Structure 1
């Protein structure tokens, strides 16, 4: 009989914990958090059912930790892109391009292996039902990047006030979240257009989203 302190005998605790996290993220991204059971996760990960409760207390707490990991991963990518764009502007003595900043913001949502659509769903869930953990995700990762990104936006057009850029950034994020949470095979865009436009076509969605955001941010 396995003791509660060793729910997966013969395996390192950190290995088991990481396997659960990786497996849960893949399943959440593929079929959604609500439609993924604890047993689905443990079966796919090859660990016993008690492991999720042992390491994470509940599926909800496991989901929140995955949100933290996703936010950290996306923030690292964005900061690297933002630094590259800012450095190029300074070195070449050219104005920051809004197109480059928009690409910096949305690229992680389309990057293979990042699971951007899952992150978007987590962010929307936080808006609907925030917890202490999701507040920490925003405070530690998403808000600090947002402040740097807004400062960069201000440099693209100094005629626009910082307050207006804050509004535009907030509306930008809302647009991206809405777009990225309806990308399945039965997405509304496909239904409305009878398949002529389809948000599940990744490159089409990325192109249309980037074009719309740049136009909206420049308006006025």
Structure 2
């Protein structure tokens, strides 16, 4: 008589432990995101993070390692969606265009509009993440500057190439400058402007006010960015600046 195979029973303890570990990691990331946004990287201590997240330092070290690694993971979980969505939108636009250059407005919307859309959705970080991103981009530490360069490399190349094709009469160096200025304007707007203080008469939940703030920011910032991109070419003086000028 052949032996009856034993039934494999899932280890519910292991599954529960894994779920609790994941919940702990997400809670640490959420708290770190808020504190880094409010106090900056240098102004946020690991003690502040562990206190608000109600975990010990060993838990933070286990999930993320150092404070630098924690900040990288705070950004990585948001930028993964952002970069994938930007490229997906650009791919769809280029497919629809059938090989023809895109309108500059569509490119600007795909790059900057996709980011600003995150401010309307707390599940994507909402205005908390936008303010953190803007603050970090305006006062970056060397390690995070290197991190951003790696995370954004493919996206930046794709969008700059799209702008080069869309604006064939504008020198590539000039397009690079204008893209740099657009990034700066966007970073300052989301980091320094307290949109909520400009909105009156809203008797709604905080998340609804945040979403309205993001919509108002997008409505005002997008035309400004596009206007800068379309500005007349500058009348530059002949020659180049001397080294060190």
Question: Fold conserved (TM > 0.5)?
Answer: yes
1:153 lines up with 2:163 in the alignment = yes
Q: Distance in 1 between matches of 2:56 and 2:23?
A: 10
Task: Give the Å deviation of 1:173.
Answer: 0.9
Q: Distance in 2 between matches of 1:50 and 1:125?
A: 29
For residue 201 of structure 1, give the secondary structure of its aligned residue in structure 2: helix
Q: Which runs of 5+ in 1 are unaligned?
A: 1-9
Contact residue 98 and residue 153 of structure 1 kept, 8 A: yes
Which residue is equivalent to 1:137?
148
Q: 1:109 aligns with which of 105, 112, 116?
A: 116
Deviates more, 1:200-209 or 1:158-167: 200-209
Deviates more, 1:116-125 or 1:153-162: 116-125
Which residue is equivalent to 1:212?
224
Q: Which runs of 5+ in 2 are unaligned?
A: 1-15, 201-209, 233-245
Q: 2:192 aligns with which of 155, 159, 182?
A: 182
Q: Deviation string for 1:45-76 (max 9, x for gaps)?
A: 44333312343344343113222333333211
Contact residue 68 and residue 137 of structure 1 kept, 8 A: no
Task: Give the Å deviation of 1:18.
Answer: 2.8
- Mapping for residues 1-220 of structure 1, pairs under 5 Å: 11-12=17-18, 15=22, 18-28=25-35, 31-33=38-40, 37-90=45-98, 95-106=101-112, 107-111=114-118, 112=121, 113-114=124-125, 115-126=129-140, 129-131=141-143, 134-139=145-150, 141-184=151-194, 201-220=213-232
Contact residue 32 and residue 49 of structure 2 kept, 8 A: no
For residue 47 of structure 1, give the secondary structure of its aligned residue in structure 2: coil
TM-score by length of 1: 0.73
Q: Distance in 2 between matches of 1:21 and 1:138?
A: 25
Contact residue 109 and residue 222 of structure 2 kept, 8 A: yes
Q: Distance in 1 between matches of 2:59 and 2:23?
A: 8
Q: Distance in 2 between matches of 1:102 and 1:173?
A: 11
TM-score by length of 2: 0.67
Which residue is equivalent to 1:7?
none
> Which structure has the higher relative contact order (CA within 8 Å, separation 6+)?
2
